[in-house]
Amino acid sequence: MIVQVLFFDRQAHMKQLLIIIVLGMVLYVSCSTNEPSILGPAEGKKALEIQAEVSKWFDGHQAAVSINYDGPYGTHEKINRVADDVTGRGLHMDYECVTDSYSRESYQQIVIDMRTIMIPRGVHFFGHGHKHDQHDWFDFDYCYTSFKTCYDYMELWGLQPKAYGYPASSGRNKTTQLACELAGFISARGVTVYPDSFFICPDELTEPLNWYYLPSVPVGKNYPSYVNDHSEMSVVLDRNLEKTAWIIIMYHAIDFPDGWGYYPRADFLQDLDQIAANDFWSGNMDMVAAYIHERNRFQLDVSTVMVKDDTWYCDIVFRDGLDNTMYNQPLTVELTFATEYTIQNVYIEPPLNLLSVFPVTDNKLIVNIIPDERVYHLKIKR
């Protein structure tokens, strides 16, 4: 078996990882045994190549969008309504979680609803400090304690802490960023007012410039440096598609005219409609961050290759070397079976999403799979 790892251009502007596993053809054992033999070279026969390409974004979408609402779920009807607006269009979103507030006894039912009702609907929660502090005003020990307490409460409540968003977009200090990382979060969102900096992993880039100060698109009417209305947001969304990038949109005070960062609900709904109508992955902030980490560390292993009659048998492992309790976002992987034969179907055990038999089109198969080092047994029918 020969393994080659290289980069290629899926589009003129985007590099993707390609892993090619070259499998030799068969030498059959005695017909009396009728048992498969380990594949070896066979004169006059072409090799089988299994090519594994990881899509830049989940489900092959052209770009990614995370909808963040810096508002506390469960505290106001208008704040809660945002979730209905988003999920009603088949989109995902994130709310802030300041754990000092939710640790009060009067909030416990809200926390239960967040875990049991909202998360299954595609509404996630990002850490926002134990208190709503501007953490750059404080030293490392204070920041770490705030971040770690926030993380621990969220974990205790089953809110799956991974992503963070700095209150007041502080977090520019390197010591603040380090404290956030050591507390256990895999990414942290800041802000930028420079439109050219809105886009994470644009074009051929596959890694954010700073995992612990990700740029976000600030939204609020009557702030000259913010996105003021849907017409301005529409331009940002279109550019994001062109750049095949990820943007995090930071909303405040939707439909609260007197609130800080007020944004009209009519404009918000137009934003959602544009996202839903175009080729965006509407991913929670933690999901997109995990996808990037996993994608950039993806490896494909093939072993125990055998053949019997018109079927290849092999064990295949999708791996990334990361902690599977934290990094459990499925990747979209396209498997291409390059051979002189036409592949009819692939049988996969254990099943993927309750399916075991997958039809193959043009010798290609697309699967969404977590790279968790699990061994899958494949039967490739030709």
Dump pLDDT digits (tens) for 83-92: 999 999 999 9
pLDDT at 14: 41
Euclidean distance between CA atoms 141 and 182, whole angstroms: 11
Residues 147, 164: contact at Cβ < 8 Å?
A: yes
CA 325, distance to chain mean position in Å, is 15
**Mean predicted lDDT score pLDDT of the chain:** 88
So what CATH class is 63-278? alpha beta
Hey, how many other C-beta atoms are within 10 angstroms of the C-beta on 10? Answer: 17
Euclidean distance between CA atoms 123 and 282, whole angstroms: 11
* Whether the bond into 359 is cis, omega within 30 of 0: no
The CATH classification number of 2-58+296-381 equals 2.60.40
Instruction: State pTM to two decimals.
Output: 0.89
- For residue 120, name the pLDDT band (cuts at 50, 70, 90): very high
Residues 154, 130: contact at Cβ < 8 Å?
A: no
Residues 248, 200: contact at Cβ < 8 Å?
A: yes
Q: Where are the domains of the chain?
A: 2-58+296-381, 63-278
Kindly state the tokens that stand for 284: 């929670």
> Considering the chain, what percentage of its residues have pLDDT values greater than 90?
80
β-bridge pairing 14-23 and 2-11: antiparallel
